[in-house]
Amino acid sequence: MSQEHGFAPNQAIEGLGFLGVLNDCLACGVVCVDEQGHITCLSPEAASLLRMHPQRLVGKPHELLPAPLASLIHDALVADKPFRDHDLELRLDDMETMVLRVNVLRLGTPPQPRLTLAILNDLTSARRLEFDISRLDRLANIGALSASMAHEIKNALVAVKTFTELTVAQSPGADLGDVAQRELKRIESIVGQMLKFAGPSRPKLAPVRIHEVLDHSLRLAQHQMSQKAIRLRRDYQAAADWVNGDDYQLEQAFVNLILNAVEAMGVGGTLTLHTCSLAPEELPGALREGGPPPQLRVTISDTGVGIPAENLSRLFEPFFTTKREGTGLGLAITRRIFEEHHAAISVESEVNRGASFRVFFTPLQRP
Give the whole-angstrom CA distance, residue 300 versus residue 218.
Answer: 11
Which one of Mg ion, ligand ADP, none interacts with residue 253, CB within 5 to 8 A by kind? none
Give the nearest residue (CB) to Mg ion: 330
Which one of ligand ADP, Mg ion, none interacts with residue 318, CB within 5 to 8 A by kind? none
306 within 8 A of 349, measured Cβ to Cβ: yes
φ and ψ at residue 19, rounded to 5 degrees: -65, -40
DSSP state for residue 61 in the 8-state scheme: B
Which one of ligand ADP, Mg ion, none interacts with residue 262, CB within 5 to 8 A by kind? none
Between residue 311 and residue 330, which ones bind ligand ADP under the rule CB under 6 A? Answer: 315, 320-323, 326-330
Nearer to Mg ion, 260 or 356 (CB): 260
Residue 260 touches ligand ADP, criterion: CB under 6 A:
yes
DSSP state for residue 9 in the 8-state scheme: -
Nearer to ligand ADP, 81 or 323 (CB): 323
Nearer to Mg ion, 121 or 193 (CB): 193
Q: How far is CA 265 from CA 43, 80, 225, 286, in A?
A: 51, 58, 10, 30
Which x/- pattern, by CB under 6 A, does the window 287-306 give for ligand ADP? ---------------x-xxx
Which x/- pattern, by CB under 5 A, does the window 260-299 give for Mg ion? x---------------------------------------
To the nearest whole angstrom, how small is the minimum distance from the Cβ of residue 143 to ligand ADP? 16
Nearer to ligand ADP, 141 or 313 (CB): 313
> Interface with ligand ADP by CB under 6 A: which range of 98-106, 168-176, 203-211, 259-267?
259-267
**The binder of ligand ADP chosen from 50, 307, 337, 344 (CB under 6 A):** 307
Give the whole-angstrom CA distance, residue 208 versus residue 254.
Answer: 14
Give the nearest residue (CB) to ligand ADP: 330
Give the whole-angstrom CA distance, residue 1 versus residue 10.
Answer: 10
| Spatial CB neighbours of 157, under 8 Å, sequence gap ≥ 6 | 184, 187, 188, 191
Give the whole-angstrom CA distance, residue 9 versus residue 1.
Answer: 7
**The binder of ligand ADP chosen from 47, 76, 221, 331 (CB under 6 A):** 331
To the nearest whole angstrom, how small is the minimum distance from the Cβ of residue 256 to Mg ion? 6
Buried b / exposed e along 180-209 (16+ C-beta atoms within 10 A): beeeeeebeebbebbbebbeeeebeeeebb
To the nearest whole angstrom, how small is the minimum distance from the Cβ of residue 305 to Mg ion? 14
Which one of Mg ion, ligand ADP, none interacts with residue 245, CB within 5 to 8 A by kind? none
Give the whole-angstrom CA distance, residue 194 versus residue 328.
Answer: 10
Q: For residue 202, give the amino acid letter.
A: R
Nearer to ligand ADP, 130 or 183 (CB): 183
Between residue 342 and residue 361, which ones bind ligand ADP under the rule CB under 6 A? Answer: 355
Which one of Mg ion, ligand ADP, none interacts with residue 125, CB within 5 to 8 A by kind? none
To the nearest whole angstrom, how small is the minimum distance from the Cβ of residue 243 to ligand ADP? 23
DSSP state for residue 32 in the 8-state scheme: E
Number of residues counted as binding ligand ADP (CB under 6 A): 22
Which segments of 117-246 does DSSP mark as H helices, in order? 124-170, 175-198, 210-220, 222-227
Give the whole-angstrom CA distance, residue 296 versus residue 364.
Answer: 10
Give the whole-angstrom CA distance, residue 96 versus residue 165.
Answer: 53
- 180 three-class SS: helix
Sign, CA dihedral 318-319-321-326, equals: positive
Residue 330 touches Mg ion, criterion: CB under 5 A:
yes
Give the whole-angstrom CA distance, residue 225 versus residue 231.
Answer: 8
Give the whole-angstrom CA distance, residue 164 versus residue 290.
Answer: 55
Interface residue list for Mg ion (CB under 5 A): 260, 330
Interface residue list for ligand ADP (CB under 6 A): 256, 260-261, 264, 302, 304-307, 315, 320-323, 326-332, 355
